[in-house]
Structure 1
Amino acid sequence: MSLLEQVQVGMSVIDADGDELGKVEFVRAPDPKSAAFEERVASIHGLIGLGIGSIVGIEPKVPPEMALRFFRKGYLKIAAPHFWAENYYAAGDAIERVEGRTVYLSLNRHGLDAQE
């Protein structure tokens, strides 16, 4: 069983600096059809559409290149603990370990923003 498969909604998420980022709100498994998806959005129009989709509410709400990576690797959405804080996304390969009801990431919050 992969680490991403062990993650459940509601688990706490701790970054590489030991800071709690929030709780898991959503988990998406890797998409075996991601190669076909990447071909479809490889054109500039496809990337623009994916970017616009991320702005208007289609998950994940990240830049197009990052979204493609998330579809390949799977990802989790982390709901921030406060309403004024931002939500985070972590690719499946950013999970270091899962212990009990806690997910530990190999990246800190700044590294999550740079996952490409």
Structure 2
Amino acid sequence: MEQKGNQQATISRITTGMPVIDADGTEVGTVDLVQRGDPNAVTVQTPTTDPGSSLDELIESTAVEEPDVPADVAARLLHGGYLKVTTELSDTGAVYVPADWIATVTDGQVRLDVPVSDLPEEE
């Protein structure tokens, strides 16, 4: 549980416009959105009725516009907190960084403990 608190303390020191550097030292881009974690965020659960088409409908009816990623990834991001990073390294122009993938926030930069290739892209 303390780990979660540390992640939230770390993410609270991040502001939009900060550069993001991946584990390999590659500049990913700049922070576009900072979202603190919400342990009570709506998560996608296995539907109890009509398992056919309702999953996407459920997501669309309950989800906000961000994060624009598959439901399983969105649930993780919403629970733990995340950054949306504007980048030229993605075809869609943005990637998401789960809070627990942030290594440090120092010298006005966000450093990740994963390479940019591991980051989920905006859909």
Please give the per-residue CA displacement for 1:38-80, whole angstroms capped at 9, x wherever unaligned: 2xx31255631327998xx811111110000001100010011
Q: How many residues align?
A: 108
Q: Is the 8 A contact 1:16 1:108 kept in 2?
A: yes
In structure 1, what is the Cα distance between the partners aligned to 2:88 and 2:62? 25
Report the aligned-residue RMSD. 2.8
Give ranges in structure 1 of 5+ residues lacking alignment.
none
CA distance 1:20–1:47, shift in 2 (3 Å): farther
Aligned equivalent of 2:55: 47
**Over 3 Å off, 4+ runs:** 44-47, 51-54, 81-85
* Residue range with higher mean Cα deviation, 76-85 or 45-54: 45-54
In structure 2, what is the Cα distance between the partners aligned to 1:95 and 1:81? 20
Give ranges in structure 2 of 5+ residues lacking alignment.
1-5
TM-score with structure 2 setting the length:
0.74
Higher helix share goes to which structure?
A: 1
Larger Rg, first or second structure (1 or 2): 2
Secondary structure of the residue that 2:12 maps to in structure 1? Answer: helix
Aligned equivalent of 2:109: 102
